[in-house]
């Protein structure tokens, strides 16, 4: 069941409505936070997305992944396990004709553990709060990141940068703390 709609805030698909299904712990990233995130990314990437590969690991409504695709990301992989949310994601992707978006039905940790040689320039983490997802995910990320990749993370409390990551930006909106980190690939 659709609970409400949000809109893509920028890029080619700007103003496109996205259905937010009524699913447990689904918390779409607010417009203002998405706008801030993509301003940060524009700064670090010089507004060039056309060679970027993006992973939206807890896709939910797909707001983050659709924003990346709207701005021209070459490849966007969305991962979601809720059936109603998956159906809504596919509906929006198909309506947009966004062939650069792939949608995978599955658990975030299992998906990370099974990833092949694909490497991402940006991983977006907006997991359900109160379930300790991030500490379980950080150790798995280096194997899927390009050198100097960025990681966006939302959490219920401020984050300290884990090993091999540098905190670039952080802010807070309501009860949500959001962060942009950069992967510091080990130099040999």
Average pLDDT over residues 34-53: 96
> Coil, strand, or helix at residue 60?
coil
User: Which sequence spans correspond to the domains of the chain?
Assistant: 2-183
2-183, CATH topology level: Rossmann fold (3.40.50)
pLDDT (tens digit per residue) in 70-117: 999 999 999 999 999 999 999 999 999 999 999 999 999 999 999 988
pLDDT score of 23: 75
- Over residues 14-41, mean pLDDT: 88
- In order of 15, 131, 133, the CA distances from 93 in angstroms are 14, 29, 26
Find where tokens 């802010």 sit.
171
Reduce the DSSP state of residue 87 to 3 states and report it: helix
pLDDT at 188 over 50: no
Q: What is the pTM of this model?
A: 0.94
Q: Judging by DSSP bridges, how do beta strands 176-183 and 2-7 pair with one another?
A: unpaired
Distance CA 116, CA 10 (A): 31
Distance CA 176, CA 185 (A): 28
Residue 20 structure tokens: 């937010």
Give Cα separations from 66 to 32, 99, 138, 153 (angstroms).
15, 12, 23, 16
Q: Position of tokens 């300790």?
A: 132
């Amino acid at each position: 069941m659709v609970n409400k709609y949000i809109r893509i805030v920028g890029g080619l698909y700007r103003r496109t409505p996205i259905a937010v299904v009524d699913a447990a712990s689904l918390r779409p990233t607010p417009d203002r936070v998405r706008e801030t995130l993509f301003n940060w990314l524009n700064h670090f990437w010089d507004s060039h997305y056309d060679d970027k590969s993006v992973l939206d690991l807890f896709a939910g409504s797909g707001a983050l992944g659709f924003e990346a695709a709207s701005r021209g990301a070459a490849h966007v992989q969305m991962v979601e396990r809720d059936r109603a949310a998956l159906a809504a994601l596919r509906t929006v992707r198909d309506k947009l004709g966004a062939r650069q978006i792939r949608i995978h039905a599955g658990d975030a940790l299992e998906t990370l553990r099974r990833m092949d040689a694909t490497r991402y320039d940006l991983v977006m983490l907006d997991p359900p709060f109160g379930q300790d997802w991030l500490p379980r995910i950080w150790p798995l990320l280096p194997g899927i990141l390009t050198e100097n990749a960025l990681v966006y993370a939302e959490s219920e409390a401020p984050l300290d940068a884990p090993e091999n990551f540098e905190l670039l930006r952080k802010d807070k909106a309501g009860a949500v703390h959001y962060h942009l980190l950069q992967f510091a690939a080990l130099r040999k």
